[in-house]
Structure 1
């Protein structure tokens, strides 16, 4: 994946899910950093894991960082 746009993780919703957008397209809702890593893998970053999610400069966290999964 040659990402010109960051991966955007939106604020938690009422269920604790966070919308995930990669390359301008919404790819689903994540409930943990493991879910975000899975979406990244599906988008072509096969080596992405939970630590990559926490440290990655590709990810723009909105409404809290990787530790925020509830309102």
Structure 2
């Protein structure tokens, strides 16, 4: 699983971008890609995700917000 920081997320439109810790390109996040569908992403959230590459290019999937305890480790 990759980790990164949410750059922005537009809850009404249902999409945003995450900056991966590995320095790669920013990755698209759709609201359907958030693991807990009741979670709302916000700028600055630390997240863990899978990188999927398809015809649209790389994007984040199975995104979940990391708790403070996980981030500190």
The interval holding the TM-score normalised by the smaller chain is 0.3 to 0.5
Please report the TM-score for the alignment, with normalisation by the length of structure 1: 0.36
If asked which structure has higher relative contact order (CA below 8 Å, sep 6+), I would say 1
Higher helix proportion (structure 1 or 2): 1
